[in-house]
Amino acid sequence: MTKNIDWGNLGFGYTDLPYRAVCEYKNGKWGEMQLSEDPYVRISECAGVLQYSQSCFEGLKAYTTQDGRIVTFRPDLNAERMYNSCKRLEIPAVTPEMFMEALDRVVKANIEYVPPFGSGATLYVRPYVFGSGAVIGVAPADEYIFRMICMPVGPYYKGGAKPIKVKISDFDRAAPRGTGDIKAGLNYAMSLYASVHAHAEGYAENIYLDPATRTKIEEAGGANVIFVTKDGTVVTPKSDSILPSVTRRSIMYVAEHILGMKTEQREVTLAEVPDFVECGLCGTAAVISPVGIIDNHGEDIVFPSGMEHPGPVIQKLYDTLTGIQSGRIEAPEGWLHEIKAD
């Protein structure tokens, strides 16, 4: 039985659901995947994660479809990205098999908390892995914990489908050949100062430029960016130092192969941004958040779609993507992974 929760008024916040999946790495190997009822973790005071931020994470969602199935969206891509994040951080790799086992078990164990179809909420799943063994010299830890938790959530950016106002940040997010293309916790730690200050100034989010030249759009603090040109082409920045967003890759596929739009993944300069007619931030948490205004150092770039409603192309992409995720529109082969209740 689905829990009786005020789904429509949920924010994007943590709740400790009854179960989480846990797996520990000790003596050179991963142990058995377990379900645990303990929301606390006990680790060494000198754990690798506490000293040198050796951790990475993922984010994906489970949905109830129109016909009552529980599905997750392209989890194979999250599993692959977590594998790559582990490799880059010298964390023993969480294999796609471990990832999928944890996903199936944790969603099934908390199935009463998967929001119903049409409620506006979803079950956010947060896999993460960190160095739990003690280190004091700079080195990888010898013990790790992989956990997968989940919680029902509402919109990430306040206002939901209402356009947001964002700013071009004076801080940099990820160096060329750094860790911008993986989901390392450290990428978010260093963004906190910029995001707290942006929020205090009334912006929903930061957009970062390429650190080398500060002339090209990279991505937002928690989402990739898409733009729409006057002739309706969907454009997204190409860069080796941004996160390969599952949502953005899916949107670009949907635009080209389902909606028959023109798409381009290429370098996008800050100078050309005023020529675009629509802009959106896309990610698992963000879904597609329309952007009405980008403040570039005191100069507002106001998109013609404005601050009241999403522009028509962003709206169409949003409807199609969420239609696929919730089973209203047929998904491309392999995009929906069903979680079957026992």
Q: Which residue spans within 154-286 are E strands per DSSP?
A: 164-168, 205-209, 217-220, 224-228, 234-237, 263-266, 278-283
Residue 302 CB, nearest approach to ligand COI (Å): 26
Residue 292 binds which of ligand COI, ligand PLP, none (CB < 5-8 A, kind-dependent): none
Residue 222 near ligand COI by CB under 6 A: yes
Structure tokens at 133: 């063994």
Residue 140 near ligand COI by CB under 6 A: no
Contact region with ligand PLP (CB under 6 A), list: 120-128, 143-151, 197-205, 245-253: 245-253
Cβ within 8 Å of residue 306, ≥6 positions away: 163, 292
Residue 83 CB, nearest approach to ligand COI (Å): 17
Question: Pick from 152, 222, 237, 327: which binds ligand PLP (CB under 6 A)?
Answer: 222
Structure tokens at 183: 């989901």
Nearest to 310 by CA among 162, 158, 160: 162
Residue 281 CB, nearest approach to ligand PLP (Å): 8
Cβ within 8 Å of residue 103, ≥6 positions away: 21, 60, 72, 75, 125, 127, 148, 337, 339
Please report, for residues 14, 21, 41, the alpha-carbon distance to residue 130 in angstroms, rounded to integers and kept in the order given: 19, 14, 11
Q: Give the C-alpha separation, 24 to 33, whole Å.
A: 8
Binding pattern to ligand COI, positions 47-76, x when CB under 6 A?
A: ------------x-----------------
DSSP SS3 for 286: coil
- Count of positions (residues) in the chain: 342
Question: Pick from 224, 305, 320, 326: which binds ligand PLP (CB under 6 A)?
Answer: 224
Residue 123 near ligand PLP by CB under 6 A: no
Catalytic residue, from 61, 165, 183, 216: name it: 183
Pick out residues in 25-84 that bind ligand PLP (CB under 6 A).
59
29 among known catalytic residues: no
Residue 79 CB, nearest approach to ligand COI (Å): 14
Residue 247 near ligand PLP by CB under 6 A: yes
202: left (phi over 0), alpha (psi -120 to 50) or beta: left
**123 strand-pairing partners:** 62, 152
Contact region with ligand PLP (CB under 6 A), list: 33-41, 220-228, 259-267, 294-302: 220-228
- 3-state DSSP helix/strand/coil percent for the chain, to nearest 5? 25, 30, 45
Residue 155 CB, nearest approach to ligand COI (Å): 11
- In the complex with ligand PLP, the residue whose CB is nearer, 106 or 251, is 251
Residue 283 near ligand PLP by CB under 6 A: yes
Give the residue numbers annotated as catalytic, written as ranges: 183
Q: Which residues of the chain form contacts with ligand PLP (CB under 6 A)? A: 59, 219, 222-224, 243, 245-248, 283-284
